[in-house]
Amino acid sequence: MSAEDRQPLGEGSALPPELPPAAPRWAGGLDALALALLALALYVALAGRVLLLRHTQFVLPSSQVWLFACAAVLAIRHTACPRSGIHRTLADWRRRLDTRPHAAAAVRAFAFTRPAVFLVAYFAVVTIGFPPRPVGFTLSSDPLGNLPARFDAGWYGGIALGGYDRDRQVERQRNTAFFPALPALMRPVGSLFGARTPTLPRDKRLLRMLWAGVLVSLLAFAWALYYLSHLAGRFGGPQAAAHAPLLLASYPFAVFYNAPYTEGLFLLGCVGAFYHFHQRDWVRALCWGLLVGFSRPNGCLVSIPLAVLALQQVIPTIRAGGGAGALQAWLKPLGLRLLVASMPGVAMLAFTAYLHNLTGVWFIWARIHGAWGRAWGTRPIRQGWEWLTTEGILGVFEGVPYDSMNTLAGLFALVMAWHVFRRLGAAYGTFVLVNLLPPIFAGGALSIGRVTSTLFPIFIALAIVLPGRSVPAWVAGFAVFQGFVAAIFFTWRDLF
pLDDT in tens, 226-241: 999 999 999 999 999 9
Local confidence band at 424 (pLDDT 50, 70, 90 cut-offs): very high
Pairing of strands 56-59, 50-53: antiparallel
What confidence score (pLDDT) does residue 326 get?
Answer: 55
Confidence of residue 21 (pLDDT cuts 50, 70, 90): low
C-alpha distance from residue 151 to each of 137, 154, 181, 358, 405 (Å) = 8, 6, 18, 25, 18
Q: Which residues contact 255 (CB under 8 A, 6 or more apart)?
A: 117, 482, 485, 486, 489
- Residues contacting residue 314 through CB under 8 Å, at least 6 positions apart: 330, 333, 334, 337
User: Is the predicted pLDDT of residue 325 greater than 70, yes or no?
Assistant: no
Residue 9 has pLDDT above 50, yes or no: no
pLDDT surpassing 80 at residue 48 = no
**In this structure, are residues 248 and 228 in contact, taking their beta carbons and an 8 Å threshold?**
yes
Q: What is the pLDDT of residue 327?
A: 57
* pLDDT level of residue 330 (50, 70, 90 thresholds): low
Rounded to 5 degrees, what are φ and ψ at 417?
Answer: -60, -35
For 122-178, write each residue's pLDDT tens digit: 999 999 999 988 888 999 999 999 999 999 999 999 999 999 999 888 888 899 999
Dihedral of CA atoms 361, 364, 366, 372 in degrees, nearest 10, equals 140
Rank 45-59, 100-114, 186-200, 437-451 by mean pLDDT and report only the highest.
Answer: 100-114
Q: pLDDT-derived band of residue 20, with 50, 70 and 90 as boundaries?
A: low
Share of the chain above pLDDT 70, in %: 92
